[in-house]
Amino acid sequence: MKAAVFQRPGRIAIEERPVPYVGPTDALLRVRLTTICGTDVHILKGEYPVAPGLIVGHEPVGDIADLGDAVRGYEIGQRVVVGAITPCGQCASCLSGRWSQCGGRMMGGWRFGNTIDGCQAEYVLVPNAMANLAPIPEGLTDEQVLMCPDIMSTGFSGVESGHVRIGDVVAVFAQGPIGLCATAGARLSGASQIIVVDRVSERLTLAKQLGADHTVDFVSSDPVDAIMKLTHGRGVDVAIEALGRQETFEWGIRVLKPGGVLSSLGVYSGKLELPVDAFAAGLGDHTIVTTLCPGGKERMRRLMSILESERLDLRPLVTHRFTLDQIEEAYELFANQRDGVLKVAITP
């Protein structure tokens, strides 16, 4: 099979690999559609370490091509989605509801393209298949569910970890795909006022379509001043950081009301510092929470049920389409954020 392989920092390329062997509790998927994530770009740049020779990618939509002898309840040819996080469903972390930390190791549930071969390939091996295969409803297309494995799950989990409640005021910093999903999730969770921050006008426009009430261009105005004015000096109940930069993290802290929550989703690749003044020297009853998106088949089922109900349509996030053979071109476009790219769809 063809697969996109991390060869060294700065180089991901197509190689020929054997189709994976299926163990008793595994499933083999023929990948129908996948995409590139910002985390993959961190891997490409050498900012997140993975082993050379690893197949990258963690957002698979596919058909079941083979099943292990111990797998029950599924059939060959069934169309499924699998989360970026593949928990075992049996360890102490999973049974405590910490699916993303499966096995008791930091980020242990994130295996695809991290500790095992991922899904930017013609086939991908899914571990713990009975905990992770989520059948796709017939009425949904591959592209409709493409955001479920990671982007939708991550954006929504930022809202959930922030405990957004009916009537809350929420600020979302950065309107890339994850930030846009956080905006949509905040609206679905009952936030009465959603303020989003970005500099790309097309993303701010899309954010309005997904539920934002106010948009702030951080190039033309100071986002902290703008948000404090919009909230009449009160600050926000929940700030969601969806980029992974020092400045957006700090903006999030500075717009919180006393007792507010900063829900951080960004992947940080450098030193992160906490501004003591904005943190009220640790006496402001603030909460800072981080989240690695939950996975597993029930999480995927719930996300797809939202799409099936037509309460949300994330197809506009897919702005570019490539074949697997064009993966280097796709990475170049996505890594450099050219041509208004949000997400790319990769068809093996």
- pLDDT tier at 270, thresholds 50, 70, 90: confident
The tokens of 166 are what? 């009916």
What is the percentage of the chain residues whose pLDDT exceeds 70? 100
- Helix 223-230 to helix 246-254 angle, to the nearest 10 degrees? 30
The tokens of 258 are what? 């006393």
The DSSP output letter for 116 is B
Quick check: 257 and 234 in contact, CB under 8 A? Answer: yes
- pLDDT tier at 120, thresholds 50, 70, 90: very high
Instruction: Report the pLDDT value the prediction gives residue 279, as an integer from 0 to 100.
Output: 87
105: pLDDT strictly greater than 90: no
pLDDT tens, residue by residue, 220-251? 999 999 999 999 999 999 999 999 999 999 99
User: What structural domains does the chain harbor?
Assistant: 2-146+314-347 (3.90.180.10), 156-290 (3.40.50.720)
106: pLDDT strictly greater than 90: no
Alpha-helical (H) ranges within 139-200 are 142-145, 153-161, 177-188
Instruction: Report the pLDDT value the prediction gives residue 268, as an integer from 0 to 100.
Output: 84
271: pLDDT strictly greater than 90: no
The residue-averaged pLDDT of 257-284 equals 90
Q: How far apart are CA 264 and CA 223, in angstroms?
A: 17
- pLDDT tier at 317, thresholds 50, 70, 90: very high
Q: How far apart are CA 203 and CA 191, in angstroms?
A: 20
The tokens of 161 are what? 């970890």
The residue-averaged pLDDT of 162-168 equals 98
The residue-averaged pLDDT of 103-117 equals 91
Instruction: Report the pLDDT value the prediction gives residue 281, as an integer from 0 to 100.
Output: 86
Mean pLDDT (the chain, rounded): 96
Alpha-helical (H) ranges within the chain are 38-44, 92-95, 129-132, 142-145, 153-161, 177-188, 201-209, 223-230, 246-254, 297-308, 327-335
- Across 78-192, the runs of DSSP E, i.e. the strands, are 79-81, 123-126, 134-135, 169-173
- pLDDT tier at 51, thresholds 50, 70, 90: very high
Reference 29, options 85, 67, 2, 58; nearest CA is 67
43: pLDDT strictly greater than 80: yes
Quick check: 261 and 236 in contact, CB under 8 A? Answer: no
269: pLDDT strictly greater than 80: no
